[in-house]
Amino acid sequence: MINISSPLLGNDEIEAITKVLRSGALAQGTETEKFEEAFASYIGTKYAIATNSGTAALHVALLASGIGEGDEVITSPFSFIATANAILFCGAKPIFVDIDEDTFNINPNLIREKITPRTKAILPVHLYGQPCDMKEIANICNEHDLILIEDACQAHGAEYAGKKAGSFGVGCFSFYPTKNMTTGEGGMITTDNESIAEKARMLRSHGQRGRYVHEILGYNYRMTDMAAAIGICQLGKLDEFNQRRIDNAKFLSGEIAGIEGLVPPFVTPNVRHVFHQFTVRVGKEFTLSRDELRQSLSEHGVGSAIYYPLPIYRQQLYQKLGYDDNLPVSEKAAQEVLSLPVRPDLRQEELETIVRALLK
Ligand SMILES: *Cc1c(COP(=O)(O)O)cnc(C)c1O
CATH of the domain at 256: 3.90.1150.10
Cα of 76 to ligand 1 centre, how many Å?
A: 14
Where is the domain boundary, 234, 265, 298?
Answer: 234
Q: Do the domain assignments include residue 155? A: yes
Burial annotation 335-359 (CB, 10 A radius, 16+ → b, else e): ebbbbbbbbbebeeeebebbbebbe
Alpha helices in the chain (DSSP H): 11-23, 30-43, 54-64, 82-89, 134-144, 194-204, 225-256, 290-299, 316-320, 328-336, 348-359
pLDDT at position 199: 98
pLDDT digits 0-9 by tens, 255-265 = 999 899 999 99
pLDDT at position 258: 86
Same domain, 67 and 211: yes
Q: Provide the domain count of the chain.
A: 2
Q: Do the domain assignments include residue 205? A: yes
DSSP structural state of residue 99? B
For residue 58, which atom of ligand 1 is closest to its CA? 10
For residue 53, which atom of ligand 1 is closest to its CA? 7
pLDDT at position 210: 86
List the residue whose alpha carbon is closest to atom 6 of ligand 1. 54
CB 173 near ligand 1, within 6 Å: no
CB 80 near ligand 1, within 6 Å: yes
Same domain, 246 and 329: yes
Same domain, 201 and 296: no
Where is the domain boundary, 215, 234, 253?
Answer: 234
For residue 185, which atom of ligand 1 is closest to its CA? 7
For residue 55, which atom of ligand 1 is closest to its CA? 9
Q: Do the domain assignments include residue 90? A: yes
pLDDT digits 0-9 by tens, 120-166 = 999 999 999 999 999 999 999 999 999 999 999 999 999 999 999 99
Partners of residue 263 on adjacent β-strands: 281
pLDDT at position 360: 85
Same domain, 254 and 227: no
Cα of 81 to ligand 1 centre, how many Å?
A: 8
Q: Do the domain assignments include residue 134? A: yes
pTM for this entry: 0.98
Cα of 322 to ligand 1 centre, how many Å?
A: 24
Same domain, 183 and 329: no
CB 183 near ligand 1, within 6 Å: no
DSSP structural state of residue 262? E
Same domain, 288 and 324: yes
Q: Do the domain assignments include residue 6? A: no
| pLDDT profile of the chain (360 residues), mean per 10 | 94 97 96 98 98 98 98 98 98 98 98 98 98 98 98 98 98 98 98 98 95 94 98 98 98 94 97 98 95 97 98 98 98 98 97 95
Same domain, 62 and 188: yes
Where is the domain boundary, 210, 234, 258?
Answer: 234
Same domain, 176 and 283: no
Helix (H, G, I), strand (E, B) or coil at 186: coil
Distance CA 221, CA 204 (A): 5
Dihedral of CA atoms 296, 298, 303, 309 in degrees, nearest 10, equals: 60
Same domain, 253 and 208: no
Query: Can you count the helices (H) and strands (E) in the chain?
Result: 11, 15
Which residues, 6 or more positions from 334, have their beta carbon under 8 angstroms from its beta carbon? 78, 308, 309, 310, 311, 314
For the chain, how far is it from start to end, CA to CA, in angstroms?
A: 17
Domain hosting 130: range is: 11-234
Distance CA 204, CA 189 (A): 11
Dihedral of CA atoms 232, 237, 243, 246 in degrees, nearest 10, equals: -60
- CA distance readout (Å), 103 to 111, 125, 167, 276, 330: 16, 11, 20, 13, 11
Distance CA 196, CA 12 (A): 33
Residue among 62, 80, 175, 183 whose CB has most ligand 1 atoms within 8 A, to mutate: 80
Same domain, 287 and 254: yes
CB 308 near ligand 1, within 6 Å: no
Residue among 4, 51, 55 whose CB has most ligand 1 atoms within 8 A, to mutate: 55
Same domain, 226 and 256: no
For residue 82, which atom of ligand 1 is closest to its CA? 10
pLDDT at position 264: 97
Distance CA 350, CA 191 (A): 39
pLDDT at position 279: 98
Distance CA 305, CA 2 (A): 12
Q: Do the domain assignments include residue 1? A: no
Q: Do the domain assignments include residue 3? A: no
Q: Do the domain assignments include residue 325? A: yes
Give the domain CATH number at 81: 3.40.640.10
Residue among 83, 99, 181 whose CB has most ligand 1 atoms within 8 A, to mutate: 83
Same domain, 61 and 178: yes
Number of other CB atoms surrounding residue 250 within 10 Å: 13
